[in-house]
Structure 1
Amino acid sequence: MTSSVLDGLNAAPLIALVALVALVGWGAARLLITTYRYLRATPLQRRRMRHAWRISLRWKRLAPNLGLARVDENTKGRKGMDGKPVKPITVVPKIRVYPEPWGIRVRAATIPKVGIEEYEKAAGWLADSWGCQTVEVQRVAPGVVELRGLVGNPLDEHFPYAFPAGDDWVLPLGRNPWARDLVIPLRELSGIKVAGMPGYGKTMLMLGWFASLARRPEVQFAVFDGKTSDPRYGDWGEVGQRAMFIVGDNPETAHQRLTELVRLIKDRPSQLVAERGTHKFWKAGPTVTIPLVLVLMDECHNYIDAAGLKGKDKELIEANQRLMRTVAKEGRGLGVIPVVGTQKQTGDAIPTAVRDNLEVGVCFATFTIDGAEAALGNGIRKDEENQPTTLIDKERFAGVCVVTGVPGLSGRYDRVRVGDIDEAAMLQLVAASIGYRADVIPAAAPTVRDVSADSAGTTVPLQKEAPKTTRRRKAS
């Protein structure tokens, strides 16, 4: 037994030496890999790497000063072997810092009494200490938060709008501050609402969506240009030949076309069952015979705002509102998607039954938080950093919007820079696809002239009337 103990004591230095060599080797390998990456990096990447190293080295001094560290209560009141008090242990959350093109990304652990709320409260001080424009915080896993520090303002950087050429059914939206490209999936989409003051990019974004889908024969368009009386001379005039129809700001003409769209929606289930054996449009997706129909309504309030109207004019507007509700509520599963644009998506400009049914919200600059709330929901009041009221500077923020309802945001909000659209390239793309235009509106029910009911003759639908029934008066 004694010899085995001695052998163990003799082996201890050898084990320690092996562990030391392994540790030194691991450190040397890590240093070599980091040096190699640094030498191969671009000047911007090197600057970001140095930034990340500085944050890591200074964290243990910074965290206690910002209330992001806690004294271990179990170590308070301890005394050493000599009976003197021993300083309690301060627990600092562990972090890992990653360089990114837009700044730095920090994964930080949480500890008791230092959670996501504490990190959010310290975000402003962290931004100043880390040399960032802003620091945003979000929970990524239990016990882990991610802090993203923006250096400069990436939303100031312009880039060309990319018209997608793939087979995915998406609408390109733009790039957020974290260099992530956001898109809007069209599958099972109930619709999109686009709001914001004039001149900030609403129409250009909608035109970009039009051009993105124009070269697909499985897509048809219905365009309502509420900004002009003659749509040939408006923003949509040059792309109108690709659309099934395009109307101006006349509510009566819009009523006729909305009636046709509702007829299309009512006819779709039987058409789908006859051709595919199912009434679910997205099970097989758009085809040339049963295409996706994108309904683009620019400045839609001109068709559905009844303020100050009376008599027949008011009745017409109310009828348009009912038709729009049908399109918004029933079109999702049948491949009819409304995209509704207006400057202020409040209830007086667009019925709330329509607005609140459109799941994706896009809002450019607004003067009031009420206008932003109408387009994005009441949660935007709490998210001060992403409020569209901060995008008023047209020189900087034309083409920048706030979005919600997009996959990946989990109900939150994000700012997006829309790419700069080359109008010549857009018009050329649309012109090359005019041959794909097809009118898929079903014909109206045939009518006959019934002269037996009225000597003058009246036109009635070719349908059987419900038999009239006489009710007996109940005996008292």
Structure 2
Amino acid sequence: MSIETTPASTPDPEWERLVAGLADKVDSPLLQKTADTPVNRPDLLGDTPLTPEWVRTSAGWRTRAAVGKVNSTRAFRRWVRRQGGEHGHGAQLFRGMRRTFLWVQGTEGVQVATARREVQQAQADYKTAKWGHDKRLLPGPEKNKRRVVMEKAFAGSVTAMGKYKSAQKDARTRRAIRGTLAAAAVAVPEGAGIYLIGGTGGVIATGSALLALALIGRRTMGGELYDDHDVKFGDTLKLTDSMLNKVYRDAKVIGGDEVVELLTPCTLTADGKAWEVTLDLPSGTPLKKALTAKTGVASALGVKVQQLHQAPGDREGRLQMRVSLHLPFTGKPTPGPLLAVDCVNLWLAIPMGVNLRGQGVSTSWVERSGLFGGEPGAGKSAAANDLLLAAALDPTVALYLCDGKAGADITPFEQIAAMYDTDGDPERLLEILEHIWTVEIPRRRALAKEHGSRKLTAEMAGKDPRVNLAVLLVDEWSSYGAAADRKVREELERLLRLIVQQGRALGIITLCATQKPDADSVPSGIRDILSIRWAMRCLTPQASDTILGQGYAAAGHNAQDILKSQRGVGIYMDGEGAEPELTRGYYYDDDEVDLILGRAYELRAKAGTLPAGSVSLSEQLRAVDDDGARVLAALLDAFDAHVGDDEMPSEWLPGAVLVDALVAAGTPLSADSLGRLVVRTDDEKGKRPWQGSRVVGYPRSRVLITVRDRFGLGE
């Protein structure tokens, strides 16, 4: 609550008279000649707030007395005005008494109320059970059954009543002890004062008790103090409306006679990390003026720029302010949620990071594309992993990964990527882009046409397994451009632009990451159509604007303000028209990445979506944690080991040969158990010639059918 003060425009005749009299006597910082002080003696320190010598004369004492009278009168007026608000001493005394009473009352009433409710419920249960038991014409067994229920309900009612009485007794005892302490704190000093001094001592003791109650209640229910408006936020870690007006005046956002209108009170966030408020600037004051004055506002608050966050409200002139108590995003990163999930559906929103409020930021990448940028070491690769790891855990998503800087960021994804380039080879990138443009996009366009639509949707994917998403990552485009000749570079740019433009509706998600996304790093024709932006720490406001868009740095969204200690933190803009938001991406270390990708490999092996030729069916079976899968893998290896004249795996083998192969592979199985695992038809159980005799065996096709039926692998 703001503190009412005397308006500067209100005239005070008595004060004006006194000031006019002083002005006649004091017109310089030098000591003035008076009857008692015949010679001017200057203040050698030159510090005018020091009391000049002339005021200690008879005339000075008279002047000081007159000024003191005016100041006392004004102080009394301010005190009177204060009494009408929640900072008044009467209000303080009442709050002190109320808080003392609440302390005496304690919280035991909750336990008593809970116990009373249990008694009421137990009694209701007993009445219901008794009513059911008292019905006539019931069979004997049913009557006995209902009697047991009734007796059990009666016992529960007795127990609940005992708990209720015990809670009441405990509450009375505790309240009596606290009440005795509170009464003793008043009665003992009162009695001692009367005994030692008499009536005067009683008055002093009473005043002391009232003063103690006033001190207990000096903070309002919102925790505000009367003098909070005189200090900065950085000194008190508390935000008040009077402080806000002073801050915006000091920052030259509003005039000295203007005030901001608070739409919400200044409140501490639920996590206790910041203060938040929504306010309206004075009529006619542009919002941009407050956003561009971020440094001045932070200085007036007494905090670092990184602790202040200002965002536009739901209309012009409305501002949402957040002031963090400490520098945000400097501790350990939040554990990534993908560690706790088995699989992901990329058609839905996926977790990308945490905002200032500690809330998870999720983004739907369907029909979207992204651009991540920032200086080296800012955390771009970790941010890109939020999308790539989620895509890896969706076994239907095809991954096309290209790293122009020839680093090791995408190396762990090689086993599950449909196509990849980790060498920064522009020819390989051209091959990947040509495959997407000439194979993927025509296939997807034909699928959409088959479903009678111009784009692929999640509904189609639920009905048709051929409909899926694909992710294309191009990291450090400028490195590819620098290594390619002019014709290749132009072709790469043409294909990437076409893929971004036409692939969005066909389920192809494109993500570009670079250290400085200017026209040399990412062609402007491509950069302008990438909808999701994430600006990590940048060295200049211009670099920040090249990621987020022109003018965002001037509007207060400047990635240059991000500290080096805030790794993985960036200004995140979730699609077209979204308001930029400071967000910290989830971080997965190398071991966590390997763990997630191991799970992704198992999912894709089970779903049969691993890249063609990367793993055999027997290896896919061994990736499944199941004894039956390991037995079937050993059986397939046995068929592959017996190659016929056509150099193809044998299509039939005797049961004895398969049993021996299982023993050699460390998965022994009896002939009967093998027959129960691979169930054959009557025709398949017939004997066939083998090395001069006729024996019973198993066809390879029946093993493949068993693999498909039990684990969904293979064709």
Give TM-score scaled by structure 2 length. 0.46
Write the deviation string for residues 281-313 of structure 1: whole angstroms up to 9, x where unpaired. Answer: 12625464221000011222233347xx6xxx3
Largest Rg, 1 or 2? 2
Question: Once the 2 structures are TM-superposed, how far is the Cα of residue 169 of structure 1 from its aligned partner?
Answer: 2.0
- Rounded to whole Å, the distance in 1 between the matches of 2:588 and 2:505 is 31
- 1:398 matched to 2:567? The reply is yes
In structure 2, which of residues 578, 592, 595 is the aligned counterpart of residue 425 of structure 1? Answer: 592
Decide which moves more: 421-430 or 141-150: 141-150
- 1:178 matched to 2:352? The reply is no
Distance 1:260 1:155, change over 3 A: same
Aligned to 1:272: 448
1:424 is matched by which residue type in structure 2? D
- Rounded to whole Å, the distance in 1 between the matches of 2:225 and 2:593 is 41
Aligned to 1:205: 383
Question: Once the 2 structures are TM-superposed, how far is the Cα of residue 244 of structure 1 from its aligned partner?
Answer: 0.8
Aligned to 1:322: 494
Question: Once the 2 structures are TM-superposed, how far is the Cα of residue 103 of structure 1 from its aligned partner?
Answer: 1.1
Aligned to 2:325: 151
Q: 1:15-94 counterparts in 2 under 5 A? A: 50=223, 54=228, 59-60=241-242, 63=245, 67=249, 93-94=261-262
Aligned to 1:262: 437
- Rounded to whole Å, the distance in 2 between the matches of 1:372 and 1:118 is 20
2:261 is matched by which residue type in structure 1? P
- Rounded to whole Å, the distance in 1 between the matches of 2:459 and 2:445 is 14
- Rounded to whole Å, the distance in 1 between the matches of 2:243 and 2:382 is 49
CA RMSD, 1 decimal? 3.8
Distance 1:52 1:318, change over 3 A: farther
Aligned to 2:268: 99
- Rounded to whole Å, the distance in 2 between the matches of 1:97 and 1:332 is 43
- Rounded to whole Å, the distance in 2 between the matches of 1:211 and 1:118 is 41
Question: Once the 2 structures are TM-superposed, how far is the Cα of residue 142 of structure 1 from its aligned partner?
Answer: 7.1
Distance 1:376 1:117, change over 3 A: closer
- 1:193 matched to 2:360? The reply is no
1:172 is matched by which residue type in structure 2? P
Aligned to 1:344: 516
- Rounded to whole Å, the distance in 1 between the matches of 2:239 and 2:286 is 22
- Rounded to whole Å, the distance in 2 between the matches of 1:91 and 1:362 is 36
Distance 1:120 1:342, change over 3 A: closer
- Rounded to whole Å, the distance in 2 between the matches of 1:291 and 1:196 is 31
Distance 1:425 1:107, change over 3 A: same
Contact 2:416 2:611 in 1 (8 A): no
- 1:221 matched to 2:399? The reply is yes
Q: Could you list the runs of 5+ residues in structure 1 that have no partner in the other structure?
A: 1-23, 41-45, 72-89, 441-476
Q: Could you list the runs of 5+ residues in structure 2 that have no partner in the other structure?
A: 1-90, 108-218, 230-237, 613-715
- Rounded to whole Å, the distance in 2 between the matches of 1:150 and 1:52 is 20
Aligned to 2:314: 140
In structure 1, which of residues 283, 293, 317 is the aligned counterpart of residue 470 of structure 2? Answer: 293
Aligned-residue sequence identity (percent) comes to 20
Aligned to 2:64: none
Write the deviation string for residues 390-415 of structure 1: whole angstroms up to 9, x where unpaired. Answer: 33x53x022122222447xx444332
2:568 is matched by which residue type in structure 1? G
Distance 1:117 1:427, change over 3 A: closer
1:203 is matched by which residue type in structure 2? S
Task: Looking at secondary structure, tell me which structure has more strand per residue.
Answer: 1
Question: Once the 2 structures are TM-superposed, how far is the Cα of residue 117 of structure 1 from its aligned partner?
Answer: 6.0
In structure 2, which of residues 406, 410, 415 is the aligned counterpart of residue 241 of structure 1? Answer: 415
Distance 1:114 1:330, change over 3 A: closer
Question: Once the 2 structures are TM-superposed, how far is the Cα of residue 128 of structure 1 from its aligned partner?
Answer: 5.6
Q: 1:96-135 counterparts in 2 under 5 A? A: 96-100=265-269, 101=271, 102-112=273-283, 116=287, 127=298, 132=303, 133-134=307-308
Question: Once the 2 structures are TM-superposed, how far is the Cα of residue 198 of structure 1 from its aligned partner?
Answer: 2.2
- Rounded to whole Å, the distance in 2 between the matches of 1:390 and 1:144 is 23
Number of aligned positions between the proteins: 369
- Rounded to whole Å, the distance in 2 between the matches of 1:284 and 1:51 is 55
Contact 2:373 2:536 in 1 (8 A): yes
Contact 1:239 1:427 in 2 (8 A): no
Question: Once the 2 structures are TM-superposed, how far is the Cα of residue 122 of structure 1 from its aligned partner?
Answer: 7.5
- Rounded to whole Å, the distance in 1 between the matches of 2:224 and 2:336 is 31
- Rounded to whole Å, the distance in 1 between the matches of 2:527 and 2:289 is 36
1:379 is matched by which residue type in structure 2? G
- Rounded to whole Å, the distance in 1 between the matches of 2:491 and 2:324 is 49
- Rounded to whole Å, the distance in 2 between the matches of 1:372 and 1:219 is 32
Contact 2:309 2:321 in 1 (8 A): yes
- Rounded to whole Å, the distance in 2 between the matches of 1:216 and 1:327 is 22
Distance 1:380 1:257, change over 3 A: same
1:258 is matched by which residue type in structure 2? L
- Rounded to whole Å, the distance in 1 between the matches of 2:259 and 2:378 is 49
Write the deviation string for residues 371-423 of structure 1: whole angstroms up to 9, x where unpaired. Answer: 3222221123313x4322233x53x022122222447xx44433222223133
Write the deviation string for residues 153-182 of structure 1: whole angstroms up to 9, x where unpaired. Answer: 112133222228465623432222232322
1:207 is matched by which residue type in structure 2? N
Distance 1:99 1:260, change over 3 A: same
